Amino acid sequence: MADRALADVRVVDISQGIAGPYATKLLADAGASVTKVEPPGGDYSRRLGPFPGDVPDPEQSGMFLHLNTGKRSITLDVSVPSGHVVLKKLLAKADVFVAGERASTLASWGLSYDDLEGEFPELIVAQVSPFGATGPYADYDGNSLTAMAMSTIMYNTGEPDREPLTTGGAPGEYLAGVHLWLGILAALENRAKRGGGDHVDVAMTEAAAAADEYNTAMYGFQGAVRRRYYSRHIFGYPQDIVPCADGYVVMIPGAGGFPTPLTKDTLSPMALLLEQPELNEHPLFLSAGERMLQWREFDELIRPYMSTHTAAEIVMTAQALRMPFAFVPNAADLLSDEHLEQREFFVRVKHAKAGEYAHAGAPFKMSETPLAVGPAPERGAANADVLGKELGYSDDDLRILSDQGVI
């Protein structure tokens, strides 16, 4: 078996849902030991589904299985004093403590960085919250949608006369998870060199706003405010999803697709693709600015070809003409995609209760320490191991904690 990059990192994670668990999944897949501390009722992602046959089952929730690979689970109510005591014993052996609560909630549990710093000076306290642990909105609540709203991304996604749209798939949560993971790794690097724990404070809003491409730049450097215009870039048209005979493709002529002042005497790739050489002289082929404003007319020029060719024909022909067109797959297409299969992207993982599913595999391939996706844990499966063997609680102690509803 290959080496694990983070084999020496121990994480205690009380976060639930998507952002925090995605961060610790990335650590666990790289070999960190992640102890997931679930409330006695379980991480709420055990209730998000999807479920086989739509029958809720906390051990078969797709989101839970997806986000908690390679972790072990214990149950513990960290909001009550006896649970707090147990958690502190776990923190004494941990490098990183991950929480997904607002500052006021964490402080009410005595688990903020300020509460823990004195006792655990080497502990990295990583916290992801909707708006961040400080500032006037620190107590505000939110989720992926509110993060995307604040990020400026949503304002520019969608049609001009309709409401702004979020990107699909809870992207604000994943962005926050990725930035929490990045922050933890940076704090670990810092601690290795200079010693000392840290507070890693990630706001979901700021994680999404970090992805801004040029909305704030257009104002900060030009005084221009960009509107929502069919999710289109301001740089030119088309760079868009366009219907074709059997679905959709992304039509991206790229830097060389249309005639330029330097290339206007040869037939452009777009004219070749559309099989209409006369278009090379068309005003909308020659002026990027006019093409953007008169896009409806341009769409008429491409319709005859697009409506009679398949996505595969269009994309392969365009790529051969050195234009970076792309496919628009859905989940089923991805799961059967030949390119992804040859790259062994999807990984089949067997779970004792849920059975076997293809999981999205490593988001990047490391030559020496490839990420490995293990099964997600059953709720509280590691209670005996962690609380009994590692922390030394006796069977009687565990029974009492269980009777009190703490574990």
396 touches another protein (CB under 8 A): no
Question: CA 245, CA 26: separation in Å to the nearest integer?
Answer: 40
Q: Which of residues 261-290 bind another protein (CB under 8 A)?
A: 261-262, 287-290
**Rounded to whole angstroms, how far apart are CA atoms 44 and 41?**
8
Q: How many CB atoms are closer than 10 A to CB 109?
A: 18
Stretch that binds another protein, among 62-70, 274-282, 376-384, 389-397 (CB under 8 A): 62-70
> Could you tell me which stretch among 89-97, 98-106, 254-262, 399-407 binds another protein (CB under 8 A)?
254-262
User: E strand or H helix at 10, and its extent?
Assistant: strand 10-13
β-strand pairing of 247-251 with 326-327 = antiparallel
- List the one residue from 74, 106, 188, 372 that touches another protein (CB under 8 A): 188
> In the complex, what is the shortest distance from the CB of residue 271 to another protein, in angstroms, rounded to a whole number?
18
352-371 residues in contact with another protein (CB under 8 A) are: 357-369
Closest to another protein by CB, 241 or 400:
241
Distance, CA of 314 to CA of 304 (rounded, Å):
13
Please tell me the distance from the alpha carbon of residue 149 to that of residue 163, in angstroms, as a whole number.
11
Contact residue for another protein among 105, 107, 206, 347 (CB under 8 A)? 206
Task: Choose which of 62, 110, 388, 405 interacts with another protein (CB under 8 A).
Answer: 62
CB of 154 to another protein, least distance (A): 5
Tell the smallest beta-carbon distance from residue 370 to another protein (Å).
Answer: 10
Residue 106 binding another protein, by CB under 8 A:
no
Phi-psi region of 236 (alpha: psi -120 to 50; beta: other; left: phi over 0): left
How crowded is residue 184: how many other Cβ atoms within 10 Å of its Cβ? 27
Is residue 185 involved in binding another protein (CB under 8 A)?
A: yes
d(C-alpha 282, C-alpha 285), whole Å = 5
Q: Which is nearer to another protein, 41 or 135 (CB)?
A: 135
Rule CB under 8 A: is residue 118 a binding residue for another protein? Answer: no
End-to-end Cα, the chain, rounded Å = 34
CB of 62 to another protein, least distance (A): 3
Interface segment toward another protein; rule CB under 8 A; list 81-89, 150-158, 300-308, 384-392: 150-158
| Dist CA 88 CA 301 (whole Å) | 67
By CB under 8 A, residue 167 contacts another protein: yes
- Using alpha carbons, select from 102, 108, 118, 120 the residue that is nearest to residue 15: 102
| Least distance CB 194 / another protein (angstroms) | 7
DSSP 192: H
Phi, psi for residue 97 in degrees, rounded to 5: -115, 120
Can you read off the two tokens belonging to residue 358?
A: 């293809």
Report if residue 123 touches another protein, rule: CB under 8 A. no
For another protein, which residue of 79, 82, 105, 190 counts as binding (CB under 8 A)? Answer: 190
Would you count residue 203 as binding another protein (CB under 8 A)?
Answer: yes
Rank residues 323 and 401 by Cβ distance to another protein and give the closer one.
323
Whether the Cβ atoms of residue 109 and residue 84 lie closer than 8 Å to each other: yes
3-state SS, residue 234: coil
Which of 1, 118, 168, 296 is in the footprint of another protein by CB under 8 A? 168
Chain-centre distance for alpha carbon 290? 37
Compare residues 101 and 382 and give the one whose CB is closer to another protein.
101
Site for another protein in 215-234 (CB under 8 A): 215-229, 231-234
Which member of 174, 258, 285, 298 binds another protein (CB under 8 A)? 174
